[in-house]
Structure 1
Amino acid sequence: MDLAVDLAANLSVNVAVDWAADPDAWLPRLILQRGLAVIYLLAFVAAVREFRVLAGERGLTPAPALLRRVSFRQAPSLFHWRYADRLLAGVAWLGAALAGAIALGAADAVPLAGSMALWATLWVLYLSIVNVGQHWYAFGWESLLLEAGFLAVFLGNAAIAPPTLTLLLVVWLVVRVELGAGLVKWRGDRCWRQLSCLDYHHETQPMPGPFSWYFHRLPRPLHRVEVAANHVTQIVLPLGLFLPGPVATWVALAVIVTQLWLIASGNFAWLNWLTILLALAAVDGALAARHLPLPAPPADQPTAPAWFTATTWAVAALVVVLSRHPVRNLLSPRQRMNVIYNPLHLVNSYGAFASVTRLRHEIVLEGTADAEIGPETVWLPYGFHGKPGEVGRRPRQFAPFHLRLDWAMWFAALSPRFPRPWMRELVDRLLAGDAATLRLLRHNPFPDEPPRWVRARVLRYRFTTWRERRATGAWWHAEPTGEHLPPRPRPGG
């Protein structure tokens, strides 16, 4: 009888310890946190590169104008105190420096409270940028980075064993990402249900990658297999990430393979890379260690102090309460994509490509040095880094880096007859030869003097066929379809 009592007591203690911490998850946590820091680093560097032009004091959509319209409660940001381009650059460089330090191990070299402070600082700095970034920062992966960054505050560091509860919160985030993306497709464009969307998507996606041409030219039966496999991974399997042992690990592997396929076929900033990192939270570290040549776990992984455990439970309770909105959205036949329910970007809804465009249109900006324009005028195009331009230029790989202006040009081309206000501002910057704006472009055809006129045309782009590719070497075929903006003159001639 005494032996049975002792066994029951030991079992209850072991269960409690296992629920509180998972020592076998030390390597998945390590990779997740270091990888997340690298993504933070890229995001802050992108802000240094782009923000002044896109949303700075004299940006295409100035942040100070937004800050005059919204309160701190509506859009929490350090810049409510004061906005200046130099201050924005300082915040971005500080974030990049902290992210780089964490990627190199700084958060594991300090006490637990110091590690949490480092991660919390990253989150506050990036939240401050996103909340004044307007549509330039209105991408699902911006909120995903913020939500993941918030949870990273409570993942602990090398001073404690990985907290099981926080790992489950990370898994819940992955489940929402996958289910959101899968269900919104199934409920959206009928080509997803007919397994035919990839007949178009590789060609019409916002920013094709170096292998997108080859993916588009796969036989149609393989496109059907691609779509079917995507449905299985994003709709059928995600809840399996909560199952114990090898089941969750195999589901996580399926998620990772799918995300790698998406990385190979296109450029979606850090969305796919971050999803891969988050999926590692479901991997059984002990199982992986038995089958892979992994380093041995640290000999001493203390359990978390009581204050940290209590904080983790409080965060879990918050996530449970905030989850009612995304769960309702997932169950709704009118599901919406990438919904932010609170200004802190916590516990959001995700999803992408509820509809797929069948034709690709591109807005091409062109200038001329001619004083007067006519039928004989020679127009020279500006080149962008990521979006298609020269038909003989193979698409490049930029993900996980985010080219926000290139993405905005794709969205603008979805409504080619309705120019957006920022497009006119962009044309005016080109007419003025604005150096900061030109640095965001790959090619400026007027290096010595700004053009006299700039216009925006709409062209229909499609991938070349195998025969056209062999004959011309071109990756794209382009033909004009209309005008987006008529020629605009340089002020003062």
Structure 2
Amino acid sequence: MFHGEEFWLVRFLFQRGLALLFLLAFLVAANQFRPLAGEDGLLPIEWYAEGGDFAERPSLFYFYPSDRVIGIAAWTGVALSALALLGLPYWLPEPYPTPVSMALWASIWLLYLSFVNAGQTFYGYGWESMLLETGFLAIFLGAGAVEPPVVILVLLQWVLFRNMFGAGLIKLRGDDCWRDLSCMDYHYETQPIPNPLSWYAHHRSKRFHRFETFGNHVVELLIPFLYFAPQPASSVAGALTIGFMGWLMLTGNFAWLNALTIVLAIATFSDGVLEAVLPISALEAAMPLARPETVATPTLLEGAAVLVAVVVLAMSIRPVENMLSESQTMNTGYDPLHLVNTYGAFGSVTRDRYEVVIEATSDETSGEDATWRPYRFPGKPTALERRPPQVAPYHLRLDWQLWFAAMAPSPRRHPWFYRLLAKLLEEDEKTRSLLAEDPFAGREASPTRIRAVRYRYRYATPEERAETGRWWERERVGIYLEASSLEELRRRSPGL
């Protein structure tokens, strides 16, 4: 109980939402980790195992850097997340639900920690740390007839606060367009992976974009302080946050960042509020022991929750200092376990959208007269007539890194890019699995040379789209990487 409120349903819904996101995260690892960071990946796992200290980035793969172990770990994570999603601990008789729940969530957290710490560049996103931090706190929520520790719910609100308020502060300190309310004029067009509604949002009026930018500041800078207020103010703040994140999900593909923020916002509600707005009677009929009639005697869980709170409070000093600093950095972890981190997104917004289009030829010549065929990726706007796809909350890691790489005029700071091109020339099946379309699949002739061309993309106007059917228009900026053979690429990248 807290201020006369109960949180049985809050805990149950939060755990189900978080389990679903871990399930997606492990599916991404099962499908993408090996071609990206496995034994023969774009950033080989041995680069992590040989180039770092286990204490700095602990991972199961430090001791077992093999694709077989990676696959077993990923699918084990999928299975454990599915059990958490189904509410396995709640089906057990007392006193087993809480210890089984703690063991289940601890296993999920430890397994995913191995992927994040060994994933190198392809796992360097703020939502990875936030998923781990949230998953760690979930260990101490308990299950069954043991009352949810309120202090853990407050710590979840603290994660939500740092995420939202940190994002708000870094925007004010960053790009001028956040201060003159013009950032949304560019955001929908230049974001990493637009979705089907992004084009429509981009073509709203400038007045609309000013209003939504101002609303962004309100939700990220003022609303977060209400997360810790008594009900119903806390629930109102949570509902506004969920609405804001829902809009971002409708107009962009940001992996599970928005969905995870929505799950965290569940911690701002109470059972009383949920009963007033959700069909709880039907929900309770489908879930075992969501709110038992007899509350079990408090166990060691309460003591563990208090200890966790003390540790989090002590570890929050550096993130808070960073958040309040004029030189604030975003999405930074301060410990190898990702227990307490600093967050923030889109401190700056790019004005132009650059894309790198990878093309290969099987012709003997490699000049402009050759037949260059483009490789297509699931989330990239390579084909002008292709409608932007809906991907999130699934995460296309290579597509995201290609967006970052295109910001620079050459791939010099991205060693994985040379390996990507070499593997495409080798027609490597694992690398092909990351593509939407390989132009040489099913052809007798294999590619002999490959290049990368840099383009500036923009949305087609409504008039252009009505006339041509294209969602995008583009102009060539220059050569990102000149036509190269496999031997030339091997000289550029060690280990190929």
Q: Secondary structure at the match of 1:393?
A: coil
| Structural mapping, 1:275-294, within 5 Å | 275-294=261-280
Distance 1:62 1:23 in 2: 51
Question: Which residue number in structure 2 is paired with residue 48 of structure 1?
Answer: 30
Contact 2:157 2:228 in 1 (8 A): yes
Distance 1:18 1:359 in 2: 50
Residue from 315, 326, 331 that aligns with 1:322: 315
| Structural mapping, 1:426-445, within 5 Å | 426-445=420-439
**Mean CA deviation greater in 27-36 or 430-439:** 27-36
Q: 1:418 to 1:445 in 2, by over 3 A?
A: closer
Q: Displacement, 1:53?
A: 1.0
1:18 aligns with 2:2: yes
Segments of 5+ residues of structure 2 without an aligned counterpart are 285-289, 489-496
Residue from 226, 232, 243 that aligns with 1:257: 243
Q: Displacement, 1:118?
A: 0.4
Residue from 463, 470, 473 that aligns with 1:474: 470
Q: Displacement, 1:421?
A: 1.4
Task: Report Cα offsets for 1:383-436 as digits up to 9, x if no partner.
Answer: 100121100000111111010000000000011234421111100001111111
Question: Which residue number in structure 2 is paired with residue 14 of structure 1?
Answer: none
Question: Which residue number in structure 1 is paired with residue 491 of structure 2?
Answer: none
1:246 aligns with 2:232: yes
Task: Report Cα offsets for 1:278-320 as digits up to 9, x if no partner.
Answer: 1010112212313443226734251552311100000000010
Question: Which residue number in structure 2 is paired with residue 198 of structure 1?
Answer: 184
Task: Report Cα offsets for 1:135-160 as digits up to 9, x if no partner.
Answer: 10000000011001001001111232
| Structural mapping, 1:128-167, within 5 Å | 128-167=114-153
Task: Report Cα offsets for 1:41-92 as digits up to 9, x if no partner.
Answer: 1111111111111111111111212211222211111122221110011001
Segments of 5+ residues of structure 1 without an aligned counterpart are 1-16
Distance 2:163 2:170 in 1: 11
Q: Secondary structure at the match of 1:428?
A: helix
Q: Secondary structure at the match of 1:224?
A: helix
Question: Which residue number in structure 2 is paired with residue 372 of structure 1?
Answer: 365
Q: 1:451 to 1:172 in 2, by over 3 A?
A: same
TM-score, scaled relative to structure 1: 0.94
One-letter code aligned to 1:91: A
Question: Which residue number in structure 2 is paired with residue 340 of structure 1?
Answer: 333
Task: Report Cα offsets for 1:345-403 as digits up to 9, x if no partner.
Answer: 01100001111100000000001110122332111100100121100000111111010
| Structural mapping, 1:337-486, within 5 Å | 337-419=330-412, 420-447=414-441, 448=443, 449-486=445-482
Question: Which residue number in structure 2 is paired with residue 6 of structure 1?
Answer: none
Q: Displacement, 1:29?
A: 1.5
One-letter code aligned to 1:209: N
| Structural mapping, 1:165-314, within 5 Å | 165-295=151-281, 298-303=291-296, 305-314=298-307
**Mean CA deviation greater in 347-356 or 288-297:** 288-297
Q: Displacement, 1:105?
A: 1.4
Question: Which residue number in structure 1 is paired with residue 287 of structure 2?
Answer: none
Distance 1:430 1:472 in 2: 32
1:94 aligns with 2:76: yes
Distance 1:89 1:155 in 2: 29
Contact 1:339 1:348 in 2 (8 A): yes
Q: Secondary structure at the match of 2:342?
A: coil
**Mean CA deviation greater in 295-304 or 362-371:** 295-304
Contact 1:161 1:301 in 2 (8 A): no
Contact 2:163 2:343 in 1 (8 A): yes
Question: Which residue number in structure 2 is paired with residue 13 of structure 1?
Answer: none
Distance 2:329 2:194 in 1: 25
Distance 1:186 1:459 in 2: 30
Distance 1:395 1:301 in 2: 52
Distance 1:252 1:461 in 2: 37
Task: Report Cα offsets for 1:14-46 as digits up to 9, x if no partner.
Answer: xxx537xx8732222211111111111111111
Distance 1:438 1:207 in 2: 20
Q: Secondary structure at the match of 1:231?
A: helix
Question: Which residue number in structure 2 is paired with residue 37 of structure 1?
Answer: 19
Q: 1:432 to 1:292 in 2, by over 3 A?
A: closer
Distance 1:23 1:262 in 2: 31
Distance 2:365 2:103 in 1: 61
Q: 1:229 to 1:52 in 2, by over 3 A?
A: same
Contact 1:248 1:283 in 2 (8 A): yes
1:82 aligns with 2:64: yes
Q: Displacement, 1:491?
A: 4.8
Q: Secondary structure at the match of 1:485?
A: strand
Contact 1:171 1:241 in 2 (8 A): yes
TM-score, scaled relative to structure 2: 0.93
One-letter code aligned to 1:143: S
Q: Secondary structure at the match of 2:424?
A: helix
Distance 1:383 1:375 in 2: 20
Distance 1:301 1:415 in 2: 61
Distance 2:36 2:292 in 1: 50
